[in-house]
Amino acid sequence: MREISYRQAIQEALWEEMGRDPEMLIFGEDIGLYGGAYAITKGMQEEFGPERVRDTPISEAGTVGIAAGASVVGARSVVEIMYIDFITLAMDQIVNQVAKMRYMFGGKVEVPLVLRTQGGAGRSSAAQHSQSLERWFLGVPGLKVVMPATPYDAKGLLKTAIRDSNPVIFIEHKLLYNTKGQVPSEEYTIPLGQAEVKKEGADLTIISYSRMLLYALEAANKLKEYGIDAEVLDLRSLQPLDRETLVASVKKTRCALVVEEGCKTGGVGAEISAILTENCFRGLKSPVRRVAGEDVPIPCSPVLEKAAIPSVDQIVRAALNSQKYQKQI
């Protein structure tokens, strides 16, 4: 199978879906002639025309509002919001309008809208360009949240998100764009809400998504040196969440560690921990542990930024502490 980058996988998904559906539109700042902040839409305006690949003013609220209107009258819309930090400027449109329109109109309208955005730290872009805000949207009924970690998942999940009749927030980590992986040339899609075990194991389940999934896999390899056989579960979709696969994995290993880049307080890990406590409590050999970003604005300093987000060594230490706890009881 051929090997391509995460960036190429996203590009292919957009090009193929634009070719498949003549009613599909793409909106965003600098996505036309410039090709987008991360060159995802490079060449698309020349191929599909400025009517379908539209540069928009610096107004996230206006852009999302226009795309929402286009979606409810029949166009499949994809909006690129340059950084997830800027999604705050469109929160009313996303949370009060896009997420609720299908419900409030009794299902008589659909909202096939994908909000593509970039999240996460690692480029010393400072506090206003480096956040992981996915947890904000988990409690908003009507929204779906997808965060793929590999090129294969990125392409398959984006194609599914575009074809969905409901709004999807599709978050791509900035530091994943140059990572590579195997992606088939043939047409394929991946269902939303379907987690995947990336590595089988028996002693501990490490649960993660997006860039931290790569850290989790690296940590699992290091844990072999300590005689710990870790299973690694990639959530892929945070909403809908594949509770069945999540619970089944933890019931097998009886030990869980959740890893996320976002702040620990009120994070995705807190929700996962609650689900596991409700469904696996009697079988757990140790408390569910969390490794997450510090509750601080992301620093610009590379050294401080590195200290503010999880590392492979932190994951390894948390796993070892979990196993140590088991031996003490």
Q: In the chain, what are the helix, strand and coil shares in percent, each to the nearest 5?
A: 40, 20, 40
If phi > 0 it is left, if psi is from -120 to 50 it is alpha, else beta; for residue 240 that is beta
Active site residues: 60, 129
Tell me whether strands 3-5 and 180-182 are parallel, antiparallel or unpaired: antiparallel
Structural tokens at position 58: 């610096």
Structural tokens at position 91: 């929160």
CA distances from 240 to 25, 144, 147, 192 (A): 25, 6, 11, 7
CA distances from 163 to 16, 102, 155, 242 (A): 12, 16, 13, 20
Give the burial class of 325: count Cβ atoms within 10 A of its Cβ; 0-12 exposed, 13-18 middle, 19 or more buried. Answer: middle
